Amino acid sequence: MVKIGNITLEDFPLLLAPMEDVSDPPFRALCKENGADVVYTEFISSEGLIRDAAKSVQKLDIYEKERPVGIQIFGSNIDSMLRSVEIVEATKPDIIDINFGCPVKKVVCKGAGAGILKDIPLMVELTKAMVEHTHLPVTVKTRLGWDHDSIKIVEVAERLQDVGCAAISIHGRTRAQMYKGDADWKPIAAVKNNPRMHIPVFGNGDVNTPERAVEMRDEYGLDGAMIGRASIGNPWFFNQVKHFFKTGEHMPTPTILQRVEAARRHLQMSIDWKGETLGVLETRRHYTNYFKGIPHFKEYRTRLVTSNASEDVFATLADVEREWGDYVMA
């Protein structure tokens, strides 16, 4: 078993990564139904929280069916981060996660996200302060380092553990790489193999097939996998991995009818949560993957990602169901 604080998980748990404009309550619900062991919110600005910014506060919405659920916050000012912890605690998450890995320029330029990888002492100090400020387990998501020449993730992980970090998820790229090139899991394995490490070490980056998840577990010896882009428009991925773990065989590919139903539910939940305009807009990124692999689908895909009214999207989904319902996915 794997433990994050007082939370007990099954061996090699699968975690839904925090992804901006992706890991919202509707998508988290779908992933949870389909095998995700832990889900994380989109990353939330500590400065936005303490200023009561509407978009940041809305991201605090969590629901019982999601548990265990972690709320991820980012920032570089210790006072702001501690004040945001108090706001986050009021929503009663199971975990508070610190984002030390986001490579986006507007975050990094403020010394937050992966930007803090240039200041490891501050990274450690901030983590220590947050651990001491809450009764909840504090976890960290980070990258290998700022660039190839500054990778010290074994030392960094140990220092974070020593100040009370309850688990660490490591993306196998540096900030300089952004999302280019292949993720390197060897340094993550080096963290896990450090004899002083006793907290869970989760791998992130390029876990995009069940076989890759097996490789991360069996060849690299990590404690679990954090799944990001592979789950977008594919909430079934978690159960696909677990089925492969148990049987060595792939689950049957979701049928067109299953895909339509998931897309329909996703859209409706998004509208219920965000309202018509944002619900329609922010569900679009999932449609390409929901219907990936269907030949000659361009017309339908275009309608799905350009319609501004939900009734038009639902009508297109009904057309897909009617026209493609009998199509057998490869």
Between 295 and 120, where is the model more confident?
120
CATH class of 2-247: alpha beta
Give me the pLDDT at residue 54, please: 62
In angstroms, the CA 295 to CA 284 distance is: 19
Say if residue 111's pLDDT is above 80.
no
* Confidence (pLDDT) at 100: 87
What CATH class is the domain 256-324? mainly alpha
Q: Is the pLDDT of residue 242 over 70?
A: yes
Residue 232 has pLDDT above 80, yes or no: yes
Query: Which residues form the catalytic set?
Result: 102
Highest mean pLDDT (candidates 74-83, 123-132, 316-325)? 123-132
Domain boundaries, the chain: 2-247, 256-324
Question: What number is the average pLDDT over the span 78-106?
Answer: 86
H-only helix segments in 54-182:
54-58, 78-89, 105-108, 120-133, 153-162
pLDDT, tens only, 158-213: 999 999 999 999 999 988 788 888 899 999 999 999 999 999 999 999 999 999 99
pLDDT, tens digit, 9 for 90 and up, residues 20-32 = 888 899 999 999 9
At residue 330, the pLDDT reads 63
Sign, CA dihedral 28-270-63-84, equals positive
For residue 136 the two structure tokens come to 């909840």
